[in-house]
Each structure stands twice: as structure tokens, then as C-alpha cells.
């Protein structure tokens, strides 16, 4: 069953309804038969919206902020398509932050590439990652809560640095974008610990305290573990 018999048009309401039906199957085994053109249209429309909005979102509560929408089970396609569909339907009320798995180098390894290749094509996988390269990487809620998937960065001195990041952008091996998606807090660390095997350094409580004081914020909300 296709979400829309006419590939040139995107029947958003029908598509969302079909994707929501997946929840009724336990264990989740139902695959939605969307055409590749429909999914590419979804990616293109969502990308256009992402690029029209800031790299550092400034929002009002309440919001749930996350990342890592793919590589989390056998139906990453249904998951990300539903999220993109909601973004298109509610562009000013539904927001997605980039996670470290919204990166070709990572989701090439952890399942999303294989799922796209098995069910559709490598070209579709590339289309998704072109979309991911346009996702915002951070948000500020009510001017008091800093949100990102990973954590802080030793390179982050001003929030203007995030606003100036040009898109589309892949995730580099190091630097500000990489850190915002990868770093983790560590209660046993003071300052920055860059002498470990992880992609990005870990940061201590003192780094968090200094950041919050400097920017007059109350807390940091993150989701990467």
C-alpha cells in the first residue's frame, strides 16, 4: 500500500496516518510501502524548512529535544519519515535537533545504510544524509535552557559561533559541530579531558557551571549517552 499513488504530490495526512499504524503491530513488523520518490520529496521539503530556520533555535517551552532518529531498530525509515512529515506539517511547532547518528559516517555502519539499501537504494540513503546535513545542532528554550545532542565544546566561546555555522555541513572529525553532537559530561573530570579514546572530549561540572554563568542560563539538556 503506497502513501500516495501520485509520486509528484505528497499526501501528507495520508502518509502520517499510514506511518502511525505501525504502532499497532507488536512486535513492530509492519513495513510501510512508500515509494522512493515520495520519501525523496519528504526529504526535500523538510530540508527547505530546516534551512529557513536558524542553526541555533530559540524556542519557548515546552519542548522535547533529542537526536539519533535512525540506527535505533529495524524501522528507522518509518521513524524518520514520520518525524520529517510532522516537521513539514508543523514547521513552527515541531523541531528536530541533529544527533551524532544523523551523519553518513555513523549511520553507514550502525544499520540505517543497510536498511535503505535493502528496502530502497543507496541513493535514498544519500538523500536522507543530505537532509541531515541541514538539521540545526542546538536550541535555547526560554533563554534559560541550552539544548544539544552531545554537549559543550572547548571551542564554544560565544553562541554566535553556532549561528554562523554554514549548512549543509557534514560532521567533521573534530571541532565545534562534532563536539555539540558527541561530547559527554563526566563527574570525575575537571575542565576538559581530551586524553581518551572517544571522538570528543569529556567535560566536568566546572565547565557546565562556567557556561551557565556566562550565558545566564539554568541548565543544559542533552540526550547522547
Mean pLDDT by 10 residues, the chain (225 residues): 48 92 69 89 98 96 78 87 96 95 96 96 98 98 96 96 98 96 94 76 96 97 84
pLDDT of residue 122: 98
Instruction: Tell me the Cα Rg of the chain.
Output: 18
| Distance from C-alpha of 76 to C-alpha of 73, rounded to nearest angstrom | 6
DSSP string, 160-193: HHHHT--SS----SSSHHHHHHH-EE-TT-SSEE
191: region left, alpha or beta (phi > 0 left; psi from -120 to 50 alpha):
left
| Residue ranges per structural domain of the chain | 12-221
- Name residues whose C-beta falls within 8 Å of residue 48's C-beta, 6 or more positions apart in sequence: none
C-alpha triplet 84, 56, 212: angle, nearest 5° = 130
Please spell the DSSP secondary structure of 44-89, one letter per residue: HHHHHHHHHS-SEEEE-S--------SSSSTTHHHHHHHHHHHHHH
CB 89 within 8 A of CB 76: no
Residues recognised as catalytic: 101
Contact between 116 and 124 (Cβ < 8 Å): yes
Report DSSP state, residue 29: -
What's the pLDDT at 223?
86
Q: What is the pLDDT of residue 6?
A: 41
- CATH superfamily ID and name for 12-221: Metallo-dependent phosphatases (3.60.21.10)
In which order are the strands placed within the sheet that holds 192-193? 184-185, 202-203, 192-193
Amino acid at each position: 500500500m503506497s502513501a500516495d499513488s501520485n509520486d509528484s504530490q505528497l499526501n501528507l495526512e495520508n502518509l502520517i496516518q499510514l506511518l502511525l499504524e505501525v504502532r499497532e503491530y507488536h512486535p513492530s513488523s509492519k513495513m510501510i510501502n512508500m515509494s522512493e520518490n515520495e520519501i525523496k520529496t519528504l526529504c526535500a521539503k523538510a530540508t527547505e524548512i530546516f534551512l529557513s530556520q536558524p542553526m541555533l533555535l530559540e524556542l519557548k517551552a515546552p519542548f522535547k529535544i533529542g537526536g539519533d532518529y535512525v540506527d535505533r531498530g529495524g524501522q528507522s525509515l518509518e521513524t524518520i519519515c514520520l518525524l520529517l512529515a510532522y516537521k513539514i506539517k508543523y514547521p513552527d511547532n515541531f523541531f528536530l535537533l541533529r544527533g551524532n547518528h544523523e551523519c553518513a559516517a555513523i549511520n553507514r555502519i550502525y544499520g540505517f545504510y543497510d536498511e535503505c539499501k535493502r528496502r530502497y537504494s543507496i541513493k535514498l540513503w544519500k538523500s536522507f544524509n543530505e537532509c541531515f546535513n541541514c538539521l540545526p545542532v542546538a536550541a535555547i528554550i526560554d533563554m534559560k535552557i541550552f539544548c544539544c545532542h552531545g554537549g559543550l565544546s572547548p571551542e564554544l566561546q560565544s553562541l554566535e559561533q553556532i549561528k554562523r555555522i554554514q549548512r549543509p555541513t557534514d560532521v567533521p572529525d573534530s571541532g565545534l559541530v562534532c563536539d555539540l553532537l558527541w561530547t559527554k559530561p563526566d563527574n570525575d573530570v575537571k575542565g576538559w579531558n581530551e586524553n581518551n579514546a572517544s571522538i570528543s572530549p569529556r567535560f566536568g561540572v566546572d565547565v557546565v557551571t562556567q557556561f551557565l554563568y556566562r550565558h545566564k542560563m539554568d541548565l543544559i539538556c542533552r540526550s547522547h549517552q
